[in-house]
Amino acid sequence: MPQQLPVIVIGAGPQGLAAAAHLLEHGIEPLVLERGSAAGAAVAEWGHVRLFSEWPELIDRAARRLLEATGWAAPGAGYPTGGEWVARYLAPLAEALGDRVRTGVTVTGISRAGRDKVVNAGRAAQPFEVRGVAADGTELRLLGRAVLDASGTWNHPNPAGASGLPALGEKQAAQAGLISYRIPPSVAQLAGKHVVVVGSGHSAAHAVIRLAGLVRRAPGTRVEWAIRGGAPSGLSSADDQLPARGALGGRAQEAVADGRVVQVTGFRTTEIRRTGGRLSLVGDDGRRLDDVDHVIALTGFRPDLSIVRELRTAIDPGLEAVAGLAGEIDPNVHSCGTVRATGALELAQPEPGFYLLGAKSYGRAPTFLALTGYEQVRSVVAELAGDHEAAARNELVLPESGVCSGAAEVGGASCCAPAQKQPIRLGVKPAPVEA
């Protein structure tokens, strides 16, 4: 493998940029390809959302060293919004990396140069071939000695349909602007409307809190919260080592308790009918939510595996996560996800030199944290640099995730117990969530 080739990193999000910083520290040239017009493009899209992690948990250590050499000063305590994470950390980091970050390039496929997926002969000695398309439509063919896919899952939200397929009529209703798949930047335009939030995770809780605030300000507003399983009590887990995240579910449940929001549990959306400008959601048991003006579906994300199709990969068939870590993060089993640090060993793929990192490595599992990813990146880059001892080391003990909805839904036993390892204490006070 020609050592002068760069390591190609897909995605200039928190994890891709951290990977580039680690590679540079090991004397390896990174080339980061980012589809957006600037680094942190996905985070910028949820820039209005306040994180439940504090600044120290959001900054990678190698990135910090690179930035501090430029005179940058790390923000202190406090919970940034996504926009602040970009402005005060990701954008300066991309700037420090200079032309090693190429924006406006969408990666469309990855393979081994001159070898399709089937061919064994000389495979591992061939460089990776990465195909992309630039913003002006130009096709690109780039070669790399290794590829780190940190392209996240943000661009592929799950549908409102409970089966994982869009509900009947969902696509048409979405095209008509009657369904959105993101936490809204502003809820003011929904004043006086009938809104249904679909989903049971922290993003759904966040949207519910904002809408409950709107109900106070604009009393004609009606909010229903449709949940596939039972009430998501685990969202407000007191065991959550991230207090701000643990507080989210509690505040959403308060809005349910005081009647501002009506929770509809066990509602599995199969069809979304349009009648005039309004919608009816139909559940698999025949129940209906009628006269709905807008649906906010916040049912999680899934990875785009199409770009890795020509590589030999080990992907968990259920979670679409890296197979080696799926057992650790499966919400069917770990209702609270006592997520431990994962590194090069767990992330290894049948294609040597290729890794899925960051949020994408978790596939559909909802428990990914920036700190988890920074430890992945540290370990994987050490492995690429030949420092197997550093790669095998675990430099982080992660907090519990507090995500309990999966096991609750399937009726499994909760494992919401304190982490086995001594967790690091992440923050002490809840972050404000603008209602």
Q: Distance (Å, rounded) from C-alpha 310 to C-alpha 425? A: 42
**Which CB, 270 or 379, lies closer to ligand FAD?**
379
By C-alpha distance, which of 110, 66, 125, 108 is closest to 90? 66
Is residue 212 a contact partner of residue 242, using CB atoms and an 8 Å limit? no
CB of 362 to ligand FAD, least distance (A): 9
Q: How far is the CB of 372 from ligand FAD (least distance, A)?
A: 7
Contact flag: residue 236 with ligand FAD (CB under 6 A): no
Sign of CA pseudo-dihedral 312, 315, 317, 323: positive
- Judged by CB under 6 A, which of 111, 203, 236, 270 binds ligand FAD? 203
List the 261-264 sheet strands across, edge first.
179-180, 294-297, 194-198, 222-226, 261-264
**Quick one: which segment of 31-39, 92-100, 140-148, 347-355 binds ligand FAD (CB under 6 A)?**
31-39
Q: Which residue has the tokens 């096991």?
A: 407
Answer for which of 31, 145, 151, 249 binds ligand FAD (CB under 6 A) is 151
Dihedral of the alpha carbons of 235, 301, 242, 432, in degrees to the nearest 10: -80
Residue 214 Cβ, how far from ligand FAD at the closest point, in Å?
19
Of 6, 11, 283, 366, the one binding ligand FAD by CB under 6 A: 11
Cβ neighbors of 254 (< 8 A, separation 6 or more) are: none
What letter would DSSP give residue 3? T
Q: Least distance to ligand FAD from the beta carbon of 298, Å? A: 9
With CB under 6 A, what is the number of residues at the site for ligand FAD? 34
**C-alpha distances in angstroms, 390 versus 60, 78, 378, 393, 431?**
16, 31, 9, 5, 35
Place of tokens 């117990």: 417
Q: Hey, which residues does 115 pair with through a beta bridge? A: 112
Per CB under 6 A, which of residues 45..104 are in contact with ligand FAD?
46, 49, 51-53
Residue 201 contacts ligand FAD per CB under 6 A = no
Q: Which stretch binds ligand FAD (CB under 6 A): 43-51, 109-117, 137-145, 323-331?
A: 43-51
Span near ligand FAD by CB under 6 A; candidates 44-52, 114-122, 157-165, 385-393: 44-52
Residues that bind ligand FAD (CB under 6 A): 10-16, 33-36, 41-43, 46, 49, 51-53, 106-107, 150-152, 154-155, 203, 307, 358-359, 368-370, 373
